[in-house]
Amino acid sequence: MLIEVDFNSEEAIYIQLRNQIIMGIATSEIREGDSLPSVRQLADMVGINMHTVNKAYAVLKQEGFIQLDRRNGAVIAINLDKLEALEDMKLQLAILLAKGSCKGINRAEVHELVDEIYEEYE
C-alpha cells in the first residue's frame, strides 16, 4: 500500500493517513486480516514523526477499522456495527450536504457524485 502525504495540505497528517487507509480498505487494496506497517516502519516510509502514525492508528482503532496487537501490530479488523456507522455517516453527510446546498449543488448532482464514488469500491 502506497501512502502519500501532502505536507502543504491544511488537513492534519494523521487524518491524511487515516483517510488513505480507509480508502485502501474500501477499494480492497488492503483487506480484513492484513497487517499494516509498524508505527516505526510507516513513519520512516512517509518521513513523518512516529507519534503522528500512532495517532492515526489510534483513531482507526477507535473508529473500528483496525485492532492493535503487541505481537502482530495494527491489523485490519472491521467492526461491523452498521447502525452506528449509518448514524455517523448521516451526521457527516448532513454537514456536507448543507455546504453543497449553500454552493448551489442540487440533489441530482449529489446522487450522480455518490454513484460515481461507489463505482470505485465495487
Domains contained in the chain, CATH given: 13-76 (1.10.10.10), 82-119 (no CATH)
Distance CA 110, CA 112 (A): 5
Q: Which pLDDT belongs to residue 1?
A: 74
CB 11 within 8 A of CB 5: no
CA atoms within 13 A on the CB side of 71: 0
Distance CA 31, CA 28 (A): 6
Q: Which pLDDT belongs to residue 86?
A: 87
The structure's pTM equals 0.76
pLDDT category at 83 given cuts 50, 70, 90 is confident
Write the pLDDT tens digit of every residue in 25-74: 989 999 999 999 999 999 999 999 999 999 999 999 999 999 998 888 89
Q: Which pLDDT belongs to residue 108?
A: 97
Write the pLDDT tens digit of every residue in 19-37: 999 999 989 999 999 999 9
